[in-house]
Each structure stands twice: as C-alpha cells, then as structure tokens.
Amino acid sequence: MKRETTEIRQEQIKRAVLDIIFKDGLDQLSTRNLAKRVGITEGAIFRHFKSKRDIMLGIMQDVKSDLIGELRHIALGAEGSEKRLFTFLCRHVKYLLENKGITILLFSEAAHMNDKELKDNLHEILSEQKSLISKIIKDGMAEGLWNKKLDGDDIATIYMGIPITLNIELILNPDKFNINNFCKRMFILMQRMLSK
Amino acid sequence: MKRETTEIRQEQIKRAVLDIIFKDGLDQLSTRNLAKRVGITEGAIFRHFKSKRDIMLGIMQDVKSDLIGELRHIALGAEGSEKRLFTFLCRHVKYLLENKGITILLFSEAAHMNDKELKDNLHEILSEQKSLISKIIKDGMAEGLWNKKLDGDDIATIYMGIPITLNIELILNPDKFNINNFCKRMFILMQRMLSK
DNA sequence: AATGTGTAAGTAAGTGATTACATATAATGG
DNA sequence: CCATTATATGTAATCACTTACTTACACATT
C-alpha cells in the first residue's frame, strides 16, 4: 500500500492514459485498466480525479499549456518567418512523438462529440494551432519571402494534416514509416508550396 | 412489422452506422441505437449481420470496392498526370462528403487496434490510396511535368492529410469551414509543391 | 487525533449477443 | 387455384459481461 500525493498520482494517471491509448488501443482505456497500469485500485483513481472525463480535460489542459504555449512562443517570436515555421513544425512533431497517445485521444473526443466542453477544448487547441500558422505565413508574405496571393488558411489546412497523418502512420506502420528528418522533409514541401 | 430482404436491411444498417457516427457521435453507435434508427429491433440486426464487427467489415468492404475502385480507375487511366491528380483528389473529397461517417469509422478502428482484420483492412485502404497517388506523381515526373527530385512518398503523406483534415473540420466547424472549391484549392497547393 | 491515501466490494446502467417464439412471404403439391 | 408447408424476417425478453462510479472501512503520515 504505497502512498503518493494527489499531484503525483494525477501525473501518473494522465501518463497511463496516453500509454494505454498508444500501446493497447482506445478500447482498453477503462478505469479498471487505468488503475492496474498505475498500480492502484479503481477506487483510488476517483480519489484523484472526480471522473474519467476530468482526466481527459486535465490532459487537454496540459496540451494547452505545454504544446500550445510553446508553439505560441515560437510563432510570435522574433526570428524570421522561415525559421519560425521550421521550428514550429519540428516542435509540434517532437511533442507528438513524446506524447504518442495525444492525437488519438483528441480525435476520439471529436468523434464522440456529445460533450460540449471536451469538444470546445479540442476546437480551441486546433484553431489556435491554425491561427498561429496563419500568422507565421502572413508575416512571411509581408517580409516578401512567400507568394502573397496564396490563401493562408488553405496552407494552414494542409499544415494541420501533417501531424495527424504522422500519428496515423505511427499506429499503422510503426516499423516501416520513415521518421528520420520528418519535420525537415515536410518543411521543404511547405516551403515549395509557399514560394513565389 | 414491415419486412425487407436481408440485402436491403444490410444496406440500411450500414447507412445507419455512418449516419449515427456523423450526426450523434461514435459513442451512440450501439446495436440498440442502430436498430432504433433502422426501425427494427435489436435481434433483427443480428439476423442480417452475425456481429457488430461484421457490419464494420462490410462497410470497409464497400469503401474498398466503391472508393478505392474508382480511385484506382482514375489513377491508372489514360489522362495526363495533372488531370488525374485533380480528378483523383476531387473524387476522393466527394466520396468523403457523401459518406461523412466513413473517416471517423476508419480511424476509430485504427485507434481500437486490437482487431487484426479490421486494422489490416484499414491499412490496405490507406496504403492503396497512397500508392496510387505515388504512381500519379511518378508519372508526372516522367512526363517532365514535375520536379524529379521530390520524394513521392512524402508528397503522398501530405496528400493523405487533406481528406483527414477535411473530415475533422466538418465535425468541428460544420458551418464556418469553407467547402467551396475545396479540392480545387488543395490541388493548386499540391501543384505548387510539385512544380519544378 | 486528524487527514489524506488506499482497498474491497458494491451499484446501476449499458453493452453485444442469444433465445424462444410469431408472422409475412414464397414454394409446393393436390 | 387453393391449402399447406417451408423459409425468411420480425419481436420481446433475457443473457453474461463491462462500464464508470460509490461506499464503507483500513491504515499511513503528520
């Protein structure tokens, strides 16, 4: 009967959620399995989170503060647009690789769309990413770097597909998919799309 | 007690699956709700499919024969690569718009990855799409239309993000998202990416 | 002694699937 | 052509099981 503080348990539980999702699949994400993975009983889970839904909200909150926080910092930074776009993309990819269950969790929430708060959170996360990308692109156009006639939103749409596709490949093709320099390779294609 | 043939019921049931997924969300997809939507009882569902899993397999089979069949026909057709790429993309988008639950269904199967047959089906669907795209791109390069130095697989990766992103936008932004000329707009960006 | 963290055993509700039985439609034989 | 038998499609009730969550109680730390 090892005891830990709620703070520690909460982190362990959120970690376990992502771990289960990526390694065992979404259907294995029950409070039973979650408890087993953390090494406590099911009841203890509810000592640290008032509901399963609350765990999900907590994870989304982490994404907002960790990932979005960093991405915002990059996008609004002082570097040139080209550098910012590259750093942004690489940071984004890195985060997804370090938190492999995140994408599935987010999109499963989109698919189970009966919870307004969860859906709003996801919407906020994605639209913020998109608008940060749009910002970088607009800056790059103003700098005279990229073609001004392009629609920034369309570019952002294409951009958003990259991390999602990455995650799907990671699930379906964990061995075969070439992850080396992934962000660099994608960046080059984005650059070509944007060029004058 | 209206009676219909198994063939008709099977179609109705598969339709209802996609309808429920897109309109009510994945968590509403129970055999109970399915029966209600079709207008029969739960037991009757199992008269026409031996399991819920079999319904999913049936839908995947439809995707393979309908969508993939058409895409293959386009990709391997006699038109120029540029025309084929455009037609391919537009057909792909059109299919997803007409079968709005499909993407969610497919990727939820990827997320619940404990069923090898379902996962293999999904893998087959996606990798076939990718290789058809790669084919078109390779042809275009051989025609001297596009930059030969580009990695066809990377382009295909970017391409695959387009339909997925489309579907996510449809769920999260059903009103705001601009669907007009979507395939044309995406095609233009693809073209820029491919250009010499 | 008080408080925070744990456990074991429950709950009600929902799941996919099966059962025994009913009835509509088609096929058959006189 | 009609009565009878099969067959295909339907229903209502129920199955065993899983789910998220709760309760009553125990024990560790301070």
Q: The domain that contains A42 carries what CATH number?
A: 1.10.10.60
pLDDT value at position B65? 97
In this complex, do A158 and B164 lie within 8 Å of one another by their Cβ atoms? no
Angle at A179 between CA A170 and CA A13, to 5 degrees: 45
Return the pLDDT at B174: 86
Shortest distance between the Cα of B5 and any Cα of chain A, in A, equals 32
Q: How many domains does chain A have?
A: 2
Q: How many CB atoms lie within 10 A of CB B82?
A: 18
Tokens 């984004």 map to which residue?
A: A92
Same domain for A90 and A31: no
Which DSSP symbol is given to B64? I
Whether A15 and A86 map to the same domain: the answer is no
**In this complex, do B155 and A123 lie within 8 Å of one another by their Cβ atoms?**
no
- Long-range (24+ apart) CB contacts under 8 A made by B46-50 are B47/B6, B47/B9, B48/B6, B48/B9, B48/B10, B48/B13, B49/B10, B49/B13
Integer Rg of chain A from CA: 19
pLDDT at A196: 87
CB contact under 8 A, A160 and B158: no
Are A80 and A44 in a shared domain? no
A193: chain B residues, CB-CB within 8 Å:
189, 192-193
Q: What is the pLDDT of residue B185?
A: 97
Residue B131 has pLDDT above 90, yes or no: yes
Can you give the residue range of the structural domain that contains A142?
Answer: 52-194
- Same domain for B118 and B35, yes or no, is no
Whether A71 contacts A88, CB under 8 Å: yes
At residue B182, the pLDDT reads 96
Same domain for A94 and A179: yes
Please tell me whether residues A134 and A59 are part of one structural domain: yes
Q: Which nucleotide is nearest to A47 (CA to C1')?
A: C5
Give the Cα separation of B187 and B22 in Å (integer): 26
The confidence score (pLDDT) of residue B126 equals 95
Q: Is the pLDDT of residue B130 over 80?
A: yes
Predicted confidence (pLDDT) per residue in A131-190, tens digit? 999 999 999 999 999 999 999 999 999 999 999 899 889 888 888 888 889 999 999 999
pLDDT of the residue at A172: 87
pLDDT in tens, B103-114: 999 988 888 878
Mutate to test the interface with A, among B103, B109, B117, B158 (most CBs of A within 10 A): B158
Q: Tell me which of B168 and B59 has the higher pLDDT.
A: B59
**CA B93 to mean position of chain CA atoms:** 8
pLDDT of A23-75, one tens digit each?
A: 999 999 999 999 999 999 999 999 999 999 999 999 999 999 999 999 999 99
The number of helix segments (H) and strand segments (E) in chain B equals 10, 0
Q: A99 and A79 share a domain?
A: yes
Same domain, A98 and A26: no
D chain positions with any atom within 7 Å of a protein CB: 8-14, 18-24, 27-29
3-state secondary structure of A51: coil
Residue B28 tokens, joined:
């509403």
| CB neighbours of residue B110 within 10 Å | 19
Q: What is the mean pLDDT of residues B7-16?
A: 98
Instruction: Measure B23 CA to C11 C1' (Å).
Output: 32
Q: Give me the pLDDT at residue B61, please.
A: 98
Write the pLDDT tens digit of every residue in A96-128: 999 999 999 998 888 887 889 999 999 999 999
Q: What's the pLDDT band for B1 if we cut at 50, 70, 90?
A: low
Helices A116-142 & A52-63 angle (0-180, nearest 10): 10
- Average pLDDT in chain A: 95
Locate B173 and state its tokens: 């932004």
pLDDT at B82 over 90: yes
Q: Hey, which bits of B1-58 come out as E strands?
A: none
Query: How does A48-60 read in b/e, with b if 16+ C-beta sit within 10 Å?
Result: bbeeeeebbbbbb
pLDDT tens column, B150-171: 999 999 999 999 998 998 899 8
Q: Which residue of A has its CA nearest to B195?
A: A192
Nucleotide nearest to B31 (CA to C1'): C16
Query: B110: domain CATH number?
Result: 1.10.357.10
pLDDT of A166? 94
Measured in angstroms, the CA of A26 and the nearest CA of chain B are apart by 5
**What ipTM, to 2 d.p.?**
0.91
At CB < 8 Å, which residues of chain B contact A?
A: 21, 24-28, 104, 107-108, 110-114, 119, 122-123, 126, 150-151, 153-155, 157-158, 160-162, 164-165, 168-169, 171-173, 178, 185-186, 189, 192-193, 195
Verify that A1 and A80 share a domain, yes or no. no
Task: Indicate whether A12 and A58 sit together in one domain.
Answer: no
Residues B150 and B184 in one domain: yes
- Residues A61 and A36 placed together within one structural domain of the fold: no
Q: Provide the number of CB pairs (under 8 Å) joining chain A to chain B.
A: 115
Do B25 and A169 lie within an 8 Å CB cutoff?
no
Closest amino acid to nucleotide C18 (CA–C1'): B43
User: In degrees rounded to 5, what are phi and psi of residue A118?
Assistant: -60, -45
